[in-house]
A and B are shown apart, each in its own frame.
Chain A
Amino acid sequence: MSKIHVTTTINGDEVEYLCDPRETMLDVLRDRLGLTGAKEGCGTGDCGACSVTLDGRLVCSCLMLGAEADGHEITTIEGMATGEELHPLQQKFIEYAALQCGICTPGILVATKALLEKNPDPTETEVRYWLAGNLCRCTGYDKIIRAVMDTAADMREAS
């Protein structure tokens, strides 16, 4: 089957690739571009470990085809820090031990960054429902929710 030529922007850089029409965005990121920060936990959009943003909107990259990225902007966990400066959520997740094994962490960070951009002052319930599509099996979510709430408060104070 002939491949599709795609020109897109990933984490601010222009990227070109050829992909099979059946390849997901997650396959392209991981297997063609070496961006393995997004994880495949299920391949069916249930776990959120592959979360990225498409033109600023939170999506499961396993539910999107690589070909669909053409002309759009993708942001992954690899684009979250600025140089050596971590995003406040990344910093807080380390400080609060909001991760144990860390496999869900990239997806949860991408998802919560998208939440705080939409809603800088979420309630605990809003954070919990926003993250209901991101499975974490280690933490029981307690420290994750606290890290997100406190980062949001810090960011509101700083802005």
Chain B
Amino acid sequence: MALDDRKTSGFTQVGTRPNRPDGLDKVTGRARFGADVTAPGMLFATIVRSPHAHARIKKIDSSKAEALAGVKGVVTRADFATGLTGENWNILENVMAGDTALYDGHAVAAVAATSALIARDAAKLIEVEYEILPHVTDVDAAMADNAPVIREGAADKSVPEGMHPNVVRYHESGHGDVDAGFAEADLVIEDHFRTEATHQGYIEPHACLATLGGDGKGELWCCTQGHWNVQKICAALLGIETANLRVTASEIGGGFGGKTAVFIEPVALALARKTNKPVKLVMPRPDVFKATGPTASTSMDIKIGMKKDGTITAAQGVFRLQGGAFPGAPMEFTAMCAFAPYALKHVHQVGYDVITNRPKQAAYRAPGSPMAAFAVESVIDELCRKLELDPIETRLKNASKKGTKASFGPMFDQIGLVETLEAAKAHPHYSAPLKPGQGRGISCGFWFNHGGETAVTLALSEDGTAQLAVGTPDIGGSRASMALMAAEELGIPYENIRVTIADTATLGYNEVSHGSRVTYASGLATIEAARDAVGKLCARAAAKWGIPEDAVKWENGCAVPSGPNAGDFDPMPIAEITKRMGATGGPIVGHFEATPEGAGVSFATHIVDAEVDPETGKTSVVRYTVVQDAGKAIHPTYVEGQYQGGAAQGIGWALNEEYIYGDDGRLQNAVFLDYRIPVASDLPMIDTVIVEVPNPGHPYGVRGVGETSICPPLAAIANAVSAAAGVRLRELPMSPPRILAALERQRDG
């Protein structure tokens, strides 16, 4: 993109806070989510799941189920494509077990019937004979010599020889000589940290409605973060052509990365094909916990050296992540994000991707980064405490900035870490007095952000309004941001733009809504599509006036003659051009299709005050401030919402949320009562500061904001709790029993 196309000031619409276009539907119950649609003759489906952590499937007998009145069909692995390889095989194996159930909740069969109750009854009649195998659910245990092997041959070439077969991928990166760096330090701290798996916890369970005929043509309605991805994967798993499956994304009731993956859609399609009827499949909540992606759990070793003046001399980290029974735990992101906030001469990081008998992990908001920040920022906090240094000044002293060689390799361009630290230092929260029993923690956090394949169409209507079709599901108000950017370019009111999430049949491929990419990439594509339309509008005006196209410019929603022709004709408003477009060359549509690669990285600094009750071990978060670089906030209210939401999820991860497995390898807390996400009475108001250091890779300077907000909270809260409790907490979640145990250990010396 040419730099002169960039606009960083003089906005008329961007930066305002209009009501979101889908607001009315969402407050009246009219919005249609995954489970809210029906089709004539529709069947209801239920999935049968393994009650064992690891078991060979010896026999599946569905005869009793099929004999039940109202049952129309049963599917097993035999009803899916064969011969798949690579990630498609992994996904199919996860969607429907082959020979072996690999975790508690792994799908083994599914049934469709004329009512949900009959389908549920029928599922209980499907008899599965298992041979129970030894299991392992803990990452360190899975790497040990005597650990049961989940699957031979799952490791790729990156894994060094001699490792346990459960280690399936290996990562190593860094620069300099860490041993030399540690030798320069006045203080070196080395510690071990652990975090448990947490679930994205979206309130809407996965749901879909599928049809698929014997002609291989199908329709799928589902809640997903990316329907082109669903289309591609489902077509492969069903053995049909991609273009013959049209996928429409419903309104989505939360995703946070967990709905970037495919779980139930291929099953509904297989049942639809088998019964020749539409099939609706909605996951019960326990299935969501047991069989959709939680994040990885971790075991980490961090070593950092510091001089008395706060200079970090060297840093190294070992990050072991288990991501369930399949490769994919985001250990390279954990490793690469760990030390990204700091300009380091000597840094080294190692990552292990380990398989266990747990569900296949899925992305969760900045996948891998929050755990790394927890470990690294805890050690930095401890170094500051022991060397009696201010935690913000110390971070400023070491902060990455433009031109710093990042810990993960490349050179940083314009970034805003220093600005977030300065804003945090200046915030009244940082200097506010603490009450007895309270502690304050701060942490920085980093996320890469992402661009990805993107296609957008902007079609003008005869009255000068615009229909904008984007392909990225709106998971947090992005339609408002898209409309603002289109309105800014076209010079027409925000209300005159209707934004639709197009289905797979009407736009080119759009990568899933992940990587904080939507406002960046679909936003960039919206701006470019609008500029394309503006070019065509100017051409029509030029033809009417009989002057060259490049002698017309676009201002305030009108074509205006410029250069030597300036003032020769009255400005021609958009509606005057569009009402005649049929007679002047046909419909006017702007397009943009590309894979934008300038997603600017993003940093945040969080400040937390926590209070720990030494009697019960309960932690209360009493004050919370998020400071984050947004590049340019298109709709500041929704940027604040992302900051607050990330902080709240981080609070849950830090204090309460965890997957608890019994010795039998079964998940013990697969309901919201036992898997406790933060409720309104758990949280304070969450203050936000939007820092704007423009991203050079976006026409308005936008950086993605969705994910970075969950990177600092785990560490910031751990630092606050450790200060309040007077003992360092190195394991998440810092639930009351863990805090009480830590206090007891300290008392016992």
8 Å CB contact of B19 from A20, A95, A134, A137: A95
Q: Are B202 and A142 in contact (CB under 8 A)?
A: no
Q: Is A155 an interface residue (CB 8 A)?
A: no
Determine whether the beta carbon of B27 is less than 8 Å from that of A93.
yes
| Interface size band for B | 35 or more
Encode B215-256 as 1/0 by CB contact (under 8 A) with A. 000000000000000000000000000000000000111111
> How does the 8 Å CB contact mask read for A114-149 relative to B, with 1 for contact and 0 for none?
000000000001011101111111111111111000
Contact A94 B19 (CB under 8 A): yes
- For chain B, residues 423 to 441, give those with C-beta under 8 angstroms from any C-beta of chain A: none
Secondary structure call for the B interface? loop
Point out the residues of chain B lying under 8 angstroms from A23, CB to CB. Answer: 117
Tell which of A30, A36, A39, A131 touches B680, judged by Cβ atoms closer than 8 Å: A131
- Of the candidates B251, B644, B682, which one forms a contact with A143 in the assembled complex, judged by CB atoms under 8 Å apart? B644
In the complex, whether A105 has a CB less than 8 A from a CB of chain B is: yes
Q: Tell me if B29 and A137 are in contact (CB < 8 A).
A: no
| Residues in B whose Cβ lies below 8 Å from that of A41 | 203-205, 253, 285, 672
Which B residues are CB-close (under 8 A) to A25? none
Q: How far is the CA of A103 from the CA of B207 in the complex (A)?
A: 13
B203 touches A142 (CB 8 A): no
Known: A44-B673, A131-B680, A141-B683. A77 touches B29 (CB 8 A): yes
* CB within 8 Å for A101 and B685 given contacts A31-B116, A46-B673: no
Report the separation of the CA atoms of residues A27 and B117 in the bound assembly, to the nearest whole angstrom: 10
B648 interface residue (CB < 8 Å to A) = yes
Mask, B671-699, CB within 8 Å of A = 1, is 11100011111110110000000000000
Contact A42 B476 (CB under 8 A): no
Taking a contact as CB atoms under 8 Å apart, the answer to whether A140 and B644 are in contact is yes
B33's partner among A47, A77, A103, A142 (CB-CB below 8 A) is A103
Interface check B7, CB cutoff 8 A: no
Contact with B along A29-64 (1 / 0, CB 8 A): 011001111111111101101000000000000000
Roughly how many angstroms separate A43 CA and B672 CA in the complex, as a whole number?
Answer: 10
The answer to whether B644 and A103 touch across the interface, beta carbons within 8 angstroms, is no
Contact A140 B683 (CB under 8 A): yes
Instruction: Say if the beta carbon of A109 comes within 8 Å of chain B.
Output: yes
Inter-chain contact B671/A101, CB cutoff 8 Å: no
Identify which of residues 71-106 in chain A touch chain B, using a CB-to-CB cut-off of 8 Å: 76-78, 80-81, 86, 90, 93-97, 99-106
Please determine whether A44 and B285 come into contact, CB atoms closer than 8 angstroms: yes
The interface on chain A, measured as residues whose beta carbon lies within 8 A of the other chain's beta carbons, has a size of: 61
Q: Which of B20, B647, B672 has the most CB of A within 10 A?
A: B672
How far is A34 from B677 in the complex, measured between Cα atoms in Å?
Answer: 30
B442 at the interface (CB under 8 A from A): no
Residues of A within 8 A of B31 (CB): 102
A143 — which chain B residues lie within 8 A by C-beta? 637, 640-641, 644
User: Is B24 an interface residue, CB under 8 A from the partner?
Assistant: yes
Where the two chains meet, the residues of B that have a C-beta atom closer than 8 Å to any C-beta of A are 17, 19-20, 22-33, 35-36, 38, 115-117, 200-205, 251-256, 282, 284-285, 475-477, 637-638, 640-641, 644-645, 647-649, 671-673, 677-683, 685-686
24 CB < 8 A contacts A-B: A31-B116, A39-B204, A41-B253, A47-B672, A49-B203, A77-B29, A93-B27, A94-B24, A96-B637, A97-B637, A100-B477, A101-B475, A101-B476, A102-B253, A105-B26, A129-B681, A132-B679, A134-B679, A137-B202, A141-B648, A142-B644, A142-B685, A144-B680, A145-B680
Q: Known contacts A37-B30, A43-B284; can you find 12 more A-B pairs with CB under 8 A?
A: A30-B35, A37-B28, A46-B671, A86-B24, A94-B23, A94-B27, A99-B23, A101-B204, A106-B29, A129-B680, A132-B680, A135-B203
Residue numbers of A with Cβ under 8 A of B are 20, 22-23, 27, 30-31, 34-44, 46-47, 49, 76-78, 80-81, 86, 90, 93-97, 99-106, 109, 125, 127-129, 131-146
